[in-house]
């Protein structure tokens, strides 16, 4: 999936390729919410309290980290690890580290120098509430804390998470954040693409780096904690690339077609900024079909593992459920 040509192949996928799927099962959605609350409880323990000095930075971190959200990335770590037999006590701190990185990326993405957003998840963005300087530092602090949590998990849970596993997870996470193929790389190309005619190669790189890279790291981390072989890691990586790309395509479609009330943030910003998106290149309906095809293939990836991957399948299905 890192090859742009592989993304273009989904653009011509006929709608008949799509596997028929019904709406999200209410029990599955209830389980998602329950597991997300478990992640929130763990995050609350791992993040400094709002009254810890310096108070402003910790209040800003908590303002953004606990603003809601589906916790998809930590849920992916838990789902992949549990499906493959990872020790339960080692999974949660790693899952929380993934959410810390995601929250940091949203804080930075909303900044005036980036997307200049006023609202995120129905509340003022971090820089609107605490000022731009504190928001920058809050994002930086969350990134640092994520790596600290992984290292500390290795010290506290040596029987469940080895130093080699912690190092490997840190490498995955560092790549997902980095300037070559991670969040920073995607943000730079996204900024440079504003107001320019879009092309498939550029939008593939942006989506892979800004969204898929962290989704991949979150999924692969579960496999690393489980101690699976390289072939299984490769399947998890492919699954993560597919649903990460599908997730961003869906986000782009919703930005072009949903309301601010539905999303809890301003809409139509991509078009206003002249951003390079899949809907801008292929149109909304073709983009929907591409996301569906990616999710179908991700589900096939899970089934190829021969394990109980019901939660990985459910998370994949949830990506396009948001379009209904």
Quickly list DSSP for 25-45.
Answer: PHHHHHHHHHHHHHHHHHHHH
CA distances from 73 to 97, 195, 266, 283, 316 (A): 10, 31, 23, 28, 12
pLDDT at position 218, please? Answer: 98
Q: CA 48 from chain center: how many Å?
A: 23
What local confidence, expressed as pLDDT, does residue 28 receive? Answer: 82
The per-residue pLDDT for 156 is 82
pTM strictly above 0.75: yes
H helices then E strands: how many in the chain? 17, 2
DSSP string, 96-161: HHHHHHHHHHHHHHTSTTTT--SEETTEE-HHHHH-HHHHHHHHHHHHHHHHHHHHHHHHH-TTTS
Residue given tokens 């763990």 in the structure block: 42
Check residue 17 and give its pLDDT: 36
Q: Tell me the residue length of the chain.
A: 324
If one counts every other C-beta atom within 10 angstroms of the C-beta of residue 3, the result is 11
CA distance 172 to 225: 12
Compute CA 94 distance to the chain's CA centroid, rounded to the nearest angstrom: 14
pLDDT for 13: 45
Q: Quote the CA–CA distance of 253 and 276 in Å, as a whole number.
A: 12
Chunked into runs of 10 residues, the chain (324 residues) has average pLDDT values of 44 40 66 93 95 96 92 96 94 97 96 92 92 97 97 84 95 96 92 78 90 96 97 98 94 74 53 71 91 96 94 92 74
Distance CA 138, CA 154 (A): 25
């Amino acid at each position: 999936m890192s090859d742009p040509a592989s993304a273009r192949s989904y653009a011509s996928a006929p709608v008949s390729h799509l596997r028929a799927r019904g709406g999200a099962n209410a029990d599955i959605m209830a389980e998602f919410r329950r597991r997300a609350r478990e992640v929130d409880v763990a995050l609350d323990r791992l993040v400094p309290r709002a009254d810890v000095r310096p108070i402003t930075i910790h209040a800003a971190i908590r303002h953004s980290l606990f603003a809601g959200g589906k916790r998809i990335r930590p849920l992916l770590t838990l789902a992949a690890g549990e499906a493959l037999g990872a020790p339960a006590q080692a999974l949660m701190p790693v899952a929380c580290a993934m959410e810390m990185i995601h929250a940091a990326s949203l804080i930075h993405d909303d900044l005036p120098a980036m997307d200049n957003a006023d609202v995120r998840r129905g509340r003022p963005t971090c820089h609107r509430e605490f000022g731009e300087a504190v928001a920058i530092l809050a994002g930086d602090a969350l990134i640092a804390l994520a790596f600290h949590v992984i290292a500390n998990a290795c010290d506290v849970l040596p029987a469940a998470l080895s130093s080699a596993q912690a190092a490997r997870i840190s490498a995955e996470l560092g790549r997902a954040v980095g300037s070559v193929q991670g969040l920073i790389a995607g943000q730079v190309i996204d900024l440079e693409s504003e107001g320019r005619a879009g092309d498939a190669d550029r939008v593939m790189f942006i989506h892979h780096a800004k969204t898929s890279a962290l989704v991949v790291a979150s999924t692969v981390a579960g496999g690393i904690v489980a101690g699976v072989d390289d072939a299984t890691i490769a399947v998890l990586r492919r699954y993560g690339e597919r649903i990460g790309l599908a997730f961003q395509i869906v986000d782009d479609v919703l930005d072009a077609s949903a309301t601010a009330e539905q999303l809890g943030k301003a809409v139509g910003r991509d078009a206003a900024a002249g951003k390079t998106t899949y809907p801008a290149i292929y149109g909304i309906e073709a983009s929907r079909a591409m996301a569906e095809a990616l999710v179908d293939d991700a589900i096939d990836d899970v089934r190829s593992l021969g394990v109980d991957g019901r939660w990985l399948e459910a998370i994949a299905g949830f990506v396009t459920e948001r379009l209904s």
